[in-house]
């Protein structure tokens, strides 16, 4: 019989229990949030040209439409994470789906630029509330042996973007013309509504978050919903009192400032730099993928879409391979190799860009996506979600997600200027500095979550973690 009187007791109980069927729904509906975020983003990208024609948008307006949600997310992610630390994960996750559904409905009915921009701002709010929080939520249900499986989010991301492309192809067959983007937004609205209903019905609150708030009775109920374990609750602790886990673990005294102090400073640098670097390198080089697809498959909507699906298929393979790779070699060493490989590929691609045969122009970007999705990209989220105690995890994940959004924004907007200044090959070569930076940081900060998280000494905020 296990007595639950701290967050660490919940974590230890995971390793003695067996997952129930409800745990499958934590995975499905948790990663369903990641699926929606990727699908909603791809929905606009897939129908961008028809959208531009139908609403007669200028280049500046298109730029605002495509980037506004990301800018809003940059500003709100830390606040959304902190809100989830205070009020719970589920409340934030479900509210995000409701806001996202409203944003999609507003978008599909938008008659002009102003209302469409408003819908994108709402989507940014939903993104900020959902993406980082849902990964933190899933992480708080994982046994030590299952932590590398958090990398599944990367494979789900590519499945979502590919699904949107396929849905776009199907809708195109009905000759909807330039309104195709409205139908894509409609499918995203249906997806958000379905997820909200299912998450309300099937997702329990995080047992670790409940325990961190001193709500041990509720924590045991949530624990036994997802794990078959014999446990009883200790006395519920008033919020703000000292927790048995040690200094800083109680909800009343935990402060976001601790993320920038020892022992958590190293973890914060590691998670934010790696998450931001993977986004920057992906969104910068992703600029070239449609161009290559058009060269290979032609310039029609169907041909270009099929070409993009081919490259996304590589991402699906890499993304779902990450868990096994991380399980075998560890998260940090795998991310090291991923960043190093991406840097090497970009250096070769950049130097030889103007002289590459067609097969190399295909293989090098495909290899980049493979190493990115299988090794480099999933690690940033894993570091962020596993680095902190529950009382700080939401804010920490929000901070890392902000770095991810900033990286994506820089990648999208800086790369065209690099092209103008240095040419295509030079721009790719300069971008190689990003994975090199990621490699250096991951090599220098030697924190391995699967080796240390849950250790009573190392998991305490007073222990040295880097």
pLDDT tens for residues 305-353?
A: 777 788 889 999 999 999 899 989 999 999 999 999 999 999 999 999 8
Q: pLDDT tens digit string along 360-401?
A: 888 898 899 999 999 999 988 888 888 888 778 888 888 898
SS3 448: coil
Distances (CA, A) of 167 to 23, 115, 306: 29, 24, 12
All residues at 6 or more sequence positions from 177 whose CB lies less than 8 Å from its CB, including other chains: 50
Q: What's the pLDDT score for residue 464?
A: 32
Residue 246: the pLDDT is 40
Tell me, which fold does domain 2-452 have in CATH? Growth Hormone; Chain: A; (1.20.1250)
Give the pLDDT of residue 297: 62
DSSP, collapsed to helix, strand or coil, labels residue 228 as strand
Greater confidence, 423 or 125? 125
Share of the chain above pLDDT 70, in %: 89
Residue 282 has pLDDT above 70, yes or no: yes
Q: Which long-range contacts (CB under 8 A, 24 or more apart) does 295-301 make?
A: 295/358, 295/361, 296/358, 296/362, 301/172
Q: Supply the pLDDT for residue 77.
A: 87
Average pLDDT, the chain: 86
In this predicted model, what pLDDT tens digit does every residue of 75-85 receive, in sequence order?
898 888 888 98
pLDDT in tens, 11-67: 899 988 899 999 999 999 999 999 999 899 888 877 888 898 999 988 788 878 887
Look up the pTM and report it.
0.82
The three-state (H, E, C) secondary structure of 347-408, written as one string: HHHHHCHHHCCHHHHHHHHHHHHHHHHHHHHHHHHHHHHHCCCHHHHHHHHHHHHHHHHHHH
Q: Give the pLDDT confidence score for residue 240 in this predicted structure.
A: 52
Q: What percent of the chain has pLDDT over 90?
A: 46
The residues spanned by each domain of the chain are: 2-452
């Amino acid at each position: 019989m296990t007595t639950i009187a701290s967050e660490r007791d919940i974590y230890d109980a995971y390793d003695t229990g067996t997952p129930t069927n409800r745990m499958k729904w934590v995975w499905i509906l948790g990663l369903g949030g990641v699926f929606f975020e990727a699908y909603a983003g791809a929905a606009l990208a897939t129908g961008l040209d028809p959208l531009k024609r139908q609403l007669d948008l200028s280049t500046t307006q298109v730029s605002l439409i495509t980037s506004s949600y990301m800018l809003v997310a940059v500003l709100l992610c830390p606040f959304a994470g902190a809100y989830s630390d205070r009020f719970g994960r589920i409340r934030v996750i479900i509210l995000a789906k409701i806001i996202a559904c409203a944003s999609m409905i507003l978008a599909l009915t938008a008659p002009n630029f102003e209302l469409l921009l408003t819908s994108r701002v709402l989507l940014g709010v939903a993104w900020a509330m959902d993406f980082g929080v849902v990964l933190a939520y899933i992480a708080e249900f994982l046994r030590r042996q299952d932590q590398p499986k958090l990398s599944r989010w990367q494979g789900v991301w590519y499945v979502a973007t590919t699904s949107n492309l396929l849905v776009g192809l199907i809708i195109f067959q009905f000759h909807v013309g330039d309104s195709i983007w409205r139908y894509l937004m409609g499918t995203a609205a249906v997806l958000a509504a379905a997820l909200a209903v299912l998450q309300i019905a099937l997702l329990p609150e995080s047992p670790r978050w409940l325990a961190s708030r001193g709500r041990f009775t509720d924590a045991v109920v949530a624990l036994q919903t997802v794990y078959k374990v014999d446990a009883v609750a200790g006395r519920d602790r008033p919020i703000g009192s000292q927790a048995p886990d040690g200094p800083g673990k109680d909800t009343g005294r935990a402060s976001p400032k601790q993320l920038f102090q020892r022992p958590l400073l190293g973890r914060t640098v590691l998670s934010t730099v790696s998450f931001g670097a993977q986004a920057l390198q992906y969104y910068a080089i992703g600029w070239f993928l449609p161009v290559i697809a058009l060269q290979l498959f032609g310039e029609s909507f169907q041909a270009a879409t099929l070409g993009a699906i081919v490259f996304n298929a590589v991402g699906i393979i890499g993304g779902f391979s990450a868990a096994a790779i991380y399980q075998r070699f560890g998260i940090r060493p795998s991310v090291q190799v991923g960043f190093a490989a991406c840097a090497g590929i970009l250096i070769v691609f950049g130097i030889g860009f103007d002289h590459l045969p067609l097969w190399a122009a295909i293989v090098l970007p495909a290899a980049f996506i493979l190493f990115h999705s299988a090794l480099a990209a999933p690690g940033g989220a894993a570091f962020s979600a596993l680095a902190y105690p529950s009382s700080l995890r939401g804010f920490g994940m929000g901070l890392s997600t902000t770095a991810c959004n900033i990286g994506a924004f820089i990648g999208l907007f800086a790369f065209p200027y690099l092209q103008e200044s240095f040419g295509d090959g030079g721009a790719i070569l300069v971008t190689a500095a990003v994975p090199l930076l990621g490699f250096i940081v991951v090599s220098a900060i030697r924190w391995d979550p699967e080796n240390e998280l849950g250790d009573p000494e190392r998991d305490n905020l007073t222990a040295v973690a880097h």
